[in-house]
Chain A
Amino acid sequence: MLSRVADNLYWMSRYLERAEHIARVMEVQYNLMLEATAESEEERWRRVLRTLGVRVKEGESVVEVAHSLTSDPDSPTSIVHCVMSAREIARQVREQISSEMWEQINRLFHAIRRADRVDLWQSDPLDFFQSICEGSYLFQGITDSKMTHGEGWHFIQLGRYMERASTLSTLIDAHYSEFDVALDPSVESDGDHLEWVGLLKSCTAFEAYCKVYSAETRPDRIGEFLILSPNFPHSIRFSVDAVETALRAISGLSSGKRSSRIERITGRLRAMLSFSQIDEIMAAGLHSYLQNVLKQCADAHSALHQVYITYAIEAALEA
């Protein structure tokens, strides 16, 4: 497979996952905002921006920045930008993906363009967020059932789960630093109950969590579920496992011998998540643990590019 095509499939998938994540977080937060709380709208949006890893510059209005995350095509962190980028990339590799995949991503793009014309925040943004998430689910379903599960498909998996591992780490880290749990994480936090439910919902995890731990929202259990669950698709460990599986498949298919570096990075990360315990993580500091995950994801990303996409010609000729 051409390196450019692999790179395009990877990014197409990352952008779409990112759009879905932003839409889901905003949907959950918008719902929470409907409940009367003492907190001002501005405070809440400031926190949402942190959980999405968006910085607010000096002098910018927090609310405006938050609103621009839906529809500002020039903001690199907006939903519109992500979907447009994914679609533009898909257009360039249209021959490599199935026509149904292309049609679905094209449909999502046109739906967004239509939504762009009305002022979302004056009407009902929930529909918009839901249509993004559903559009993304549909795309994933079509991809899994219509595309050969070959190298290209594995690059799509790689993009999705690499993005998911990173966004989850950022989200969880920001949430735990906002809501102080240092005293005793095993005690249910009464005042912030809704916020913890919100965190779970932002990861589509509320129902799944309840099945395992009941509806009692204890910060340590939530952390265990979202970080270390081996079976839940929106946990960090699950995502890293999926990244590693995809990478193994790719290095088996593309017959290169240069992949050991990236396999070492992801293998180490996977082992770390497999053998960690939540009480140890909490004791040693959740923040530094998640920052470590983020750094290793970034390392894996750049190693991926060095091995498969932008490798030096000399290195490839020796192999």
Chain B
Amino acid sequence: MASVAGRRTDPFPLNDYELREAYDEMLTPSGEVRSHYQFLQEALLELPEAELRKRKQAADLSFLHQGITFTVYGREEGTEKIFPNDLLPRILTDQEWQKIERGLSQRILALNLFLKDIYHEGKILNDGVVPRELIYTCKHFRRQMRGFQVRRDAYVAVAGTDLIRQPSGEFVVLEDNLRVPSGVSYMLVSRQVMKRTFPVLFRRCGVQPIEHYAQALLATLRSLAPEHAAGDPTIVLLSPGVYNSAYFEHAFLARQMGIELVEGRDLVVHDNCVYMRNTGGLTRVDVIYRRIDDDFCDPLAFRHDTILGVPGLFNAYRAGNVSLGNALGTGVADDKAVYAYVPKIIKYYLGEDAIIDNVQTFIMTDPKERQHVIDNIGEYVVKAVGESGGYGMLIGPHSSDDQRDEFRRRIEADPRNYIAQPTIQLSTAPCLIDGRVQPRHVDLRPYILFGEKTTIVPGGLTRVALTRGSLVVNSSQGGGSKDTWVLH
């Protein structure tokens, strides 16, 4: 059909589709179209060029009008940016999805057991499976949570786990986001837009729905309610406010769930109970879906120099009068050095092997591994353990000598703060770039809800590195998103 690993000879708009060493979601290494991409490929060949452009414009306009924006930090003007969305769906088979779903359910269960353990007896530390020092030196470990009983042991009620597909075709976990994962609104809005843009293709493919995410999230939050309010809890979404990068998402989710969107200044704590300030008086709050980091939740318990949080919230929480989703202190489990131990954690608590593997990870506190990485830094991706959003990382093959020296220095100075992973070719998926279909690197972030039961809506947010050859998919670094279809 087409030449392998080179320019293909398909008709427009597929004539520019180059295969490289990465796994491609649409084509096999020999250039055959995978069966679950058949419909999309046919649709692309059938659609006249003008029609494709028109649909792209309509979709872009729809994002613009809905004001789907995110905020980029560290720039003064024009901080509100439209989130770039790619028109072509990323497609997964039901079989692929089922394995992901089982793997992620296993992982969230183990991680919640792990969090419960380290904030109580610490068996896993006593048994030497995870080094005690690693936990206690983690900057997201919250001593204040020791011995505190979290409702349903659901420390992490909402997680977003980043998966990537290796050249072999297997998915692996790149990182867990267990604090305040964001991006789910883009998943939901992309789907709305896609249904309007490709209605026929959508129906023909048979795509599993994701629209129930908001109800599932609400049910999860409801199941966290303290005993006194178990019947009909008042649930609010706590946002840092309009200047936060994910404010659009906060407002979106609050509206979808029909709950109040509050800021710290709307809440008061009296007698260890949390109230929101309404025009008609104070209303007791039972569950807070907080989209504020641990540090900013309560100036009395954590960082003092913040006005985002609610003074006294932590005491109300410890008194059991209000539930938080996620619990405080969950960041210790998504520390990138603790991540390396997750397969062992799964084995320890569940007696099972991890269904989805980790990426091989080098711990910089281990002298041998550290030396190896420092000597070969150009082959590795180096990450700061507590950062997210693509900040504080070095991509070895794409770095300059200065950057490499800088990271060598940083690792030597603070080895606990860094890990290294081999550079992995993320899989590529077809994207519409300047009217042509071209492969771009993608990852996948499914959203996992853990309450009375575990719910994962089929699909997730597929993030795209829109620059040719780039492996960085974060929205703050020029990434975009695309809709993810899991077929029946």
Contacts and interface: CB of A to CB of B under 8 A. Distances in A.
B247 to A, nearest CB: 9
A91 interface: yes
Interface in B224-245: 241-242
B250 to A, nearest CB: 9
A254 B276 contact: no
Contact of B282 (A91, A151, A253, A313): A313
B282 A4 contact: no
Contact of B266 (A3, A94, A317): A3
A92 B242 contact: yes
B483 interface: no
A308 interface: yes
B262 A317 contact: no
Interface stretch (B129-137, B253-261, B426-434): B253-261
Interface in A249-282: 250, 253-256, 258
Contact of A95 (B261, B266, B268): B261
B282 A250 contact: no
B266 A2 contact: yes
B277 interface: yes
B279 A3 contact: yes
A313 B279 contact: no
Contact of A256 (B241, B266, B280): B280
B44 interface: no
A80 B123 CA distance: 63
A319 interface: yes
A208 B264 CA distance: 49
Contacts of B260: 2
Interface residues of A, number: 23
Contact of B254 (A91, A92, A95): A95
B279 A1 contact: yes
Contacts of B242: 91-92
Nearest to B282: A316
B279 A6 contact: yes
B74 interface: no
Interface in A82-134: 91-92, 94-95
A210 to B, nearest CB: 42
B268 A313 contact: yes
Contact of A254 (B241, B280, B282): B280
Interface in A1-54: 1-4, 6
A254 B254 contact: no
B404 to A, nearest CB: 43
Nearest to B66: A99
Given A2-B260, A4-B266, A317-B270, A92 B241 contact: yes
B279 A151 contact: yes
* Interface-central residue, A3, A250, A254, A319, by most chain B CB under 10 Å: A3
A99 to B, nearest CB: 8
A2 B262 contact: yes
B278 A1 contact: yes
B265 A4 contact: yes
Given A2-B262, A3-B266, A317-B270, A95 B251 contact: yes
Nearest to B243: A92
Interface string A240-256: 00000000001001111
B24 interface: no
Interface string A301-319: 0000000110101001101
B278 A2 contact: yes
B312 to A, nearest CB: 11
A317 B261 CA distance: 22
B273 to A, nearest CB: 10
A254 B251 contact: no
A3 B275 CA distance: 12
Contact of B263 (A4, A309, A311): A4
B351 interface: no
B254 A3 contact: no
Interface string B440-467: 0000000000000000000000000000
B311 to A, nearest CB: 12
Contact of A3 (B241, B251, B255, B278): B278
B255 A4 contact: no
A283 B160 CA distance: 75
B281 interface: yes
Given A4-B263, A4-B266, A94 B278 contact: no
A191 B409 CA distance: 84
Contact of B279 (A91, A94, A250, A319): A250
Interface in A163-202: none
B280 A313 contact: no
B58 to A, nearest CB: 18
A53 B280 CA distance: 34
A17 B390 CA distance: 45
A254 B268 CA distance: 19
A90 to B, nearest CB: 11
B328 to A, nearest CB: 24
Nearest to B281: A316
A319 B251 CA distance: 31
A6 B268 CA distance: 17
Contacts of B254: 95
Contacts of B261: 95
17 contacts: A1-B279, A1-B280, A2-B266, A2-B277, A91-B242, A92-B242, A94-B251, A95-B251, A254-B279, A254-B280, A256-B279, A258-B281, A311-B281, A316-B277, A316-B282, A317-B270, A319-B281
Q: Which 8 A-B pairs have the closest CB atoms?
A: A254-B280, A3-B277, A308-B279, A254-B279, A316-B281, A256-B280, A95-B251, A316-B282
